[in-house]
Amino acid sequence: MASSSEPMVSRSVDVLVVGGGSAGLAAAISARKRGARSVLILERDGRLGGILNQCVHNGFGLHTFNEELTGPEYAARYVERARELKVEYLLNTTVLSLSADREVVAVNARDGVFRVAAGSIVLAMGCRERPRGALDIPGTRPAGVYTAGTAQRLVNVDGFLPGREVVILGSGDIGLIMARRLTLEGAHVSCVCEIMPYSGGLKRNIVQCLEDFGIPLLLSHTVVNVEGAERVQAVTIAQVDEDLRPIAGTERRVPCDTLLLSVGLLPENELAQQAGIDINPTTHGARVNESLETSAPGIFACGNVLHVHDLVDYVSEESAHAGSCAARFALRAAIEKDAPSAPTAPMSGEGSFPVECARGVRCAVPSFVRPSAVEDALTLRFRVDAVYRDVCVSVYVGGRRVSHRRHVALVPAEMLTVRIRASYLEGLSGDDVITIALEEG
Amino acid sequence: MEDVIWDCVIVGAGASGCAAARELSRTDGRYLVLEAADDVGCGTSKANSAIVHAGFDAHPGTLMARLNVEGNALFPGLAQELDFAFMPVGSLVVCTCEDQRPALEALLERGRSNGVPGLRVVEKDELRRMEPNVSDAATCALWAPTAGICDPFGLVIALFENARQNGVGFSFGSRVESVEREGGLWLVHAGGGVVRSRCVVNAAGVYADQIHNMVSPHRMVIVPRRGEYELLDTSAGSHVRHTVFTLPTKMGKGVLVTPTVHGNLLVGPTADDVDDREGTQTTAAGLGAVRCRSALGVRDIPFREVIASFSGLRAHRPEHDFAIGELPEAPGFVDCAGIESPGLTACPAIGRMVASEVLRALARMGRARGPRPDFQPRRRGYVNLNCISPEEWNELIARDPSYGNIVCRCCLVSEGQIREACRRGARSVDAVKRRTGATMGRCQGGFCCPRIMQIISQEHPDIPFAMVTKKGGASRYLAGNTKEVAPHG
């Protein structure tokens, strides 16, 4: 029912995908393959592919295609597949609101403000970078402070160099990749500071982006001041103690014209929150079940809006699962339209079992598992909370250990995946839980 | 420009200078505003608490007290006339220990003698209903229903645009180097040129003492007083419903916690006297103090939601009162100095007072100015897409499709608004920000800044993409092209 202040429903689709980046594309393709008749992607940018379009370095697709592709090449394969499968998409289209009963309001220059009703929805909005303010770095507010992703866009898409003398704070993967990129483009990167005693990026990036270029990585260091009225003139870096507080006397002034921030990514979940969807405070993504369905029935989430990934291949894999579950939901809803059954709560209640993180483990996805809905295997993704050596990752299903694997080293930068065969979940009952834990090797 | 004899030259395009310019533009004189920065409102006016104070704070009998109450009363009408954001949310001064009740009652009395309407003390239970997140220690509070919050950028830009549309000239990048008297006129040297004028208004903010001391033997002193703030995301914007001040206690002075018209939560300020008149950096100690002292009045402020911190300088005079009026020793030279809090609130009244001083001086010089026959009191503001209905938005898009193209996703600002800001004079990203709200959200321009740079360079053919600045001057975003050899080694 459209009230006078709400736009009329302009159309309805089986599966609506919010976001046309790596997650949205994979979800849309998979939804079509799974039988959804109409799949529509709403993308706010001027082209499909999302952040992949600015990732001109290679290393994408090793798992998916057994090839090393650049970001735009990886995106192009999915865009092509989506076109073959007649996935519809609207570009330069921003979703304004989402309701738990699977309707969105969106806007673009051609259609104005319009409403789409969907059989199911896949949230694939990705993430954003934490800005300077989130770290409360004191000092002036000149030009020359960029998040790494913004600098990446300016260099790789627009073709400009944001600065010539660069200090990078944060050793997340984008920061590491930008250290190399800026060096190749003619800038000088004096150092990468990381407040933690270990890097936030993947080992291969530290080797290929810093070590190969002689760029020092200063662990347990942060930026404590920014100077320069109009343009950055220098930053002050300092060592931090175990509580991550700067140690007086260790300050060092580094002249530079640019400070790049690579200090964390946050799922961009404002739409989900607006719709009243439960958010997991550790991942900042929605709480989902084994089908990647959120607390709102028929609304699914995948990719970096669900939890921040480090490899796009895993985003694609996860999103294909979400897309296929979304198609299943939409088709079932269409069949039951004449005799609607009450929508089953995707989370709580009988037949649903929580996933718990025990010692050393955090950010597990999904949060709940309904064994009856697991088709072949359950995929658990999670991270460790610190650097560990010689430990085992174990998964317990209702007290029974069903997976146990030894690792030489585990780092928080690397997302871990464990697959549990559906048959192992059969015995779950009552108050049983699924637990992921680190154990001595 | 050098042949013109201006009736009045106003030094400084902040809230006071623009308010004076707008008041003068009601008359048929020739008026010019000189501004050192590339935009209006770039000094004290842009970094403050954005509060429209009720007026109980200033001491009875001071100019501050009178103009605060007058300015507060003018605010709602001005906001309507000039179409900028103002919300009469009311303010609370929270008392956190019973010992302080006499101080609260003294404040109430002071407010009453200043003529502040509607003041009353609310007791604990009512206070908690009004402001659920008030600190557990709160015992009672002074409620001021006439207090409010405003968009300080919007206010100054509105005054500027309205003055400009009524014929006032504005010259940016014009820092005043000297003011001298010659042949019964004032010669103002600025930005490499000189202008001649019958009157001069000194509305130079933290530099007002320097301008004053160019013409008067009675030295004026302005001490830049820095205030640091934390700005939280809109997700924290409803943590308080009113502006919450705290009475100073033995434990120290609180800071205010307030919603903003943009939907954020603002916490601050500190107060530190500094030497540097451009010293708007934040400090670890200052930001730490903001966080720590805010807890006195409001509990559980979600500081993990901080999206920006900033500081501003108040133009503090040791006398702690506004200095407004023509100098007897310098005929036609009108000070508008020491405009610190509640200067933003008072600015509509300050503008009137300054204009009447100027017009009296002009009349005395035989240049009495009559009303401008075509004075246009209303000015159209910028669209806020967060506040319009889908039908209104669709009408906008039908007229200009670029209003359907969202550039700033966090604050919902379209390409159309950004282009309009550029066409109405914005030349830097911060100038666009202050007019449209773009880049003010949780990503702080991470996504939209390159796009805004592109639009600025499209709208201003003299600004290539690589030359777009954050805030004018040397604040360029880009150092050159990729793979280009550095120009100096």
Question: B426 to chain A nearest CA, in Å?
Answer: 17
**A257 vs B479: CB contact, 8 Å cut-off?**
yes
**A131 vs B446: CB contact, 8 Å cut-off?**
yes
Rounded CA separation A317/A322 (Å): 9
CATH 2.60.40 fits A348-440, yes or no: yes
Amino acid at A364: A
Instruction: Say which of B280, B473, B478 has its CB closest to residue A154.
Output: B478
- Tell me whether B480 touches chain A (CB under 8 Å): yes
- β-strands A145-147, A258-261: how paired? parallel
Question: A258 to chain B nearest CA, in Å?
Answer: 9
Share of chain B above pLDDT 90, in %: 95
Report the 10 Å Cβ neighbour count for B227.
24
pLDDT tens, residue by residue, B32-56: 999 999 999 999 999 999 999 999 9
Instruction: Say which of A4, A96, A163 has its CB closest to residue B479.
Output: A163
pLDDT of A195 above 70: yes
Cβ atoms A87, A15 nearer than 8 A: no
pLDDT of A441 above 80: no
pLDDT tens, residue by residue, A38-86: 999 999 999 999 999 999 999 899 999 999 999 999 999 999 999 999 9
User: ipTM of this complex > 0.90?
Assistant: yes
Could you tell me where in chain A the CATH 2.60.40 domains are found?
348-440
Confidence of residue B474 (pLDDT cuts 50, 70, 90): very high
What is the per-residue pLDDT for A337? 66
Q: Which of B411, B443, B469 should one mutate to test binding to chain A, selecting the residue with the greatest count of A CBs within 10 A?
A: B443
pLDDT tens, residue by residue, B127-177: 999 999 999 999 999 999 999 999 999 999 999 999 999 999 999 999 999
Q: What is the mean pLDDT of chain A?
A: 94
What is the per-residue pLDDT for A348? 66
What is the per-residue pLDDT for A133? 86
Confidence of residue B249 (pLDDT cuts 50, 70, 90): confident
For chain B, what's the residue count? 489
Question: B422 to chain A nearest CA, in Å?
Answer: 19
Instruction: Say which of B444, B475, B479 has its CB closest to residue A161.
Output: B479
Work out whether the CA dihedral B296, B299, B304, B308 comes out positive or negative.
Answer: negative
pTM beyond cutoff 0.90: yes
Task: Tell me the three state secondary structure of residue B75.
Answer: helix
Cβ atoms B426, B433 nearer than 8 A: no
pLDDT of A6 above 80: no
Work out whether the CA dihedral A199, A202, A203, A205 comes out positive or negative.
Answer: negative
Instruction: Give strand pairing partners of B179.
Output: B188
**A6 vs B470: CB contact, 8 Å cut-off?**
no
Does residue B53 carry a catalytic annotation? yes
CA angle B50, B53, B57 (to 5 degrees): 130
pLDDT of B487 above 90: no
Task: Tell me the three state secondary structure of residue B301.
Answer: coil
pLDDT tens, residue by residue, A264-296: 999 999 999 999 999 999 999 999 999 999 999
Q: Output the six-digit token pair for B372.
A: 């401008």
**A141 vs B280: CB contact, 8 Å cut-off?**
yes
Q: How far is CA B367 from the centre of its chain?
A: 32
Q: Which of A45, A91, A129, A136 should one mutate to test binding to chain B, selecting the residue with the greatest count of B CBs within 10 A?
A: A136
- b/e string for B256-288 if b means 16 or more Cβ within 10 A? bbbbbbbbbbbbbbbbbebeebebbbbbeebbe
Cβ atoms A172, A201 nearer than 8 A: yes
Could you tell me where in chain A the CATH 3.50.50.60 domains are found?
7-129+264-345, 131-263
Instruction: Say which of A134, A143, A273 has its CB closest to residue B470.
Output: A143
Q: Find the range with the poorest average confidence among A171-180, B245-254, B353-362.
A: B245-254
What is the per-residue pLDDT for B333? 98
The residue in chain B having the minimum alpha-carbon distance to the alpha carbon of residue A157 is B450
Question: B215 to chain A nearest CA, in Å?
Answer: 30
Cβ atoms A397, A429 nearer than 8 A: no
Q: What is the mean pLDDT of chain B?
A: 96
What is the per-residue pLDDT for A30? 98
**A141 vs B310: CB contact, 8 Å cut-off?**
yes
pLDDT of B488 above 60: no
Which domains are assigned to chain B?
Answer: 1-87+149-222+317-381 (3.50.50.60), 91-145+223-315 (3.30.9.10), 385-482 (1.10.10.1100)
pLDDT tens, residue by residue, B406-446: 999 999 999 999 999 999 999 999 999 999 999 999 999 99
Share of chain A above pLDDT 70, in %: 96
Sequence-separated (6 or more) residues with CB below 8 Å from residue B362: B7, B8, B29, B198, B199, B332, B368, B369
What is the per-residue pLDDT for A347? 72
Q: What is the DSSP letter of A286?
A: B
What is the per-residue pLDDT for A73? 98
Instruction: Say which of B393, B406, B475 has its CB closest to residue A44.
Output: B406
Q: Which of residues 98-117 of B touch A (CB under 8 A)?
A: none
Q: What is the DSSP letter of B476?
A: B
Instruction: Say which of B231, B390, B445 has its CB closest to residue A113.
Output: B390
pLDDT tens, residue by residue, B186-195: 999 999 999 9
**B471 vs A107: CB contact, 8 Å cut-off?**
no
Chain A residues touching residue B481 (CB < 8 angstroms)? 159-161
pLDDT tens, residue by residue, B368-388: 999 999 999 999 999 999 999
Instruction: Say which of B405, B412, B481 has its CB closest to residue A92.
Output: B405
pLDDT of A150 above 90: yes
Chain A residues touching residue B281 (CB < 8 angstroms)? 138-140, 225-227
pLDDT tens, residue by residue, A367-406: 999 999 999 999 999 999 999 999 999 999 998 999 999 9
Over the Cα atoms of chain A, what is R_g?
A: 23
Confidence of residue A165 (pLDDT cuts 50, 70, 90): very high
- β-strands B480-481, A368-369: how paired? unpaired
pLDDT tens, residue by residue, A199-257: 988 889 999 999 999 999 999 999 999 999 999 999 999 999 999 999 999 999 999 99
pLDDT tens, residue by residue, A9-43: 789 999 999 999 999 999 999 999 999 999 999 99
**B483 vs A186: CB contact, 8 Å cut-off?**
yes
Chain B residues touching residue A141 (CB < 8 angstroms)? 280, 310
What's the CATH code, domain A131-263? 3.50.50.60
A7-129+264-345 is classed in which CATH architecture? 3-Layer(bba) Sandwich (3.50)
The residue in chain A having the minimum alpha-carbon distance to the alpha carbon of residue B37 is A230
- Tell me whether B292 touches chain A (CB under 8 Å): no
**B397 vs A5: CB contact, 8 Å cut-off?**
no
Nearest to B312 by CA among B272, B284, B347: B272
Confidence of residue B27 (pLDDT cuts 50, 70, 90): very high
Tell me the three-class secondary structure of B323-373, residue by residue: EEEEECCEEEEEEEECCCCCHHHHHHHHHHHHHHHHHHHHHHCCCCCCECC
Chain B residues touching residue A186 (CB < 8 angstroms)? 482-486
Phi, psi dihedral angles at B211 (to 5 degrees):
-65, -45
What is the per-residue pLDDT for B2? 54
Question: A278 to chain B nearest CA, in Å?
Answer: 15
Question: B409 to chain A nearest CA, in Å?
Answer: 8
pLDDT tens, residue by residue, A317-374: 999 999 999 999 999 987 776 555 545 667 767 789 999 999 999 999 999 999 999 9
Nearest to B337 by CA among B58, B29, B63, B6: B63
Query: Which of the given ranges, A133-142, B240-249, B344-353, has the highest pLDDT on average?
Result: B344-353
- Tell me whether B310 touches chain A (CB under 8 Å): yes
CB pairs under 8 A between A and B: 153
Question: B262 to chain A nearest CA, in Å?
Answer: 16
Confidence of residue B489 (pLDDT cuts 50, 70, 90): very low
**A133 vs B466: CB contact, 8 Å cut-off?**
no
